[in-house]
Amino acid sequence: MKKLFTAVLAVAAFGLIANSASAHEEKSVRIGTEGAYPPFNSIDSSGKLIGFDIDIAEALCKAAHLKCEFVVQDWDGMIPGLLAKKYDAIIASMSITEERKKKVDFTGKYYNTPAKFVAPKGKNLTVTPDGLKGMSVGVQRATTHENFLRDNFPGLDIRVYATQDEANADLVSGRVDLGHADSVALMEGFINTDAGKDFEFVGPDFNVPQWHGTGAGIAVRKGDDELRMALDKAIDQIRADGTYKTINAKYFDFDVFGE
């Protein structure tokens, strides 16, 4: 009888261990990103995804006990891909805007930086709708920056590109007079490179919530509150434990999180 009781205890204990292990199994989550927006997300010469977005995503997945894999998606198909369940979340420097919130849910921001114009050095441009009238500008398609230009600079010849790199290339070649994008993406991904050494920022910062949103957040499908809340909690955790600061310092010499 004693042996039988011991055996029962052993089975019960094994069951508790198994249930505990099951309870802590990492949930698999697919992360959609662009891979063409340095320094936030890009693909290196070996085919590996790199950048601030990627490091942040990996840190969030670790903090939230999620098993994550990345899915590369062209920018203009990013939200359609999420809705089609090609992936479960978007971590790709996507601004939190009221228009996008009609289609997807967002976490809080994980960074917030302004937009700027870039032009060849020495142009001495007046960055106003009248001052830029008749000039051409390159901007990435389906971005907050394109919407901002169309609504606020009606005299500009706005030319859209699939990626920021393509817009930068046409600026270098002289096919457009100006570029417009996130200031950090322009500085780190263009001006501070050999291709962009003859270019500089012109005009003020632009960071108007009506067009630019309230920072870059993580998009999930409507109603996926469990994943959204887990990622929100993870953002708070990596901000509190110093992980965010370490990743920030790897890419920037200022706090990219913003006020």
- Listed by start position, the domains of the chain span 26-112+214-251, 115-212
Residue given tokens 């007046």 in the structure block: 126
- CA 27 to chain CA mean position, Å: 22
Per-residue pLDDT tens over the stretch 203-243: 999 999 999 999 999 999 999 999 999 999 999 999 999 99
pLDDT for residue 26 = 82
pLDDT for residue 259 = 80
Q: Is 55 exposed, middle or buried (0-12, 13-18, 19+ CB in 10 A)?
A: buried
pLDDT for residue 25 = 72
Domains 26-112+214-251 and 115-212 share a fold: yes
Beta-carbon contacts of 256 under 8 Å, excluding residues fewer than 6 positions away, are 52, 111, 112, 113, 184, 248
pTM of this prediction exceeds 0.95: no
Pairing of strands 49-50, 104-111: unpaired
User: What one-character DSSP code corresponds to residue 241?
Assistant: S
Domain at 26-112+214-251, CATH class? alpha beta
Segments in the chain below pLDDT 70: 1-24
Q: In 10 A of CB 77, how many CB atoms?
A: 14
pLDDT for residue 24 = 55
Residue 154 has φ and ψ, to the nearest 5°, of -65, -20
Domain boundaries 115-212, corresponding CATH code: 3.40.190.10
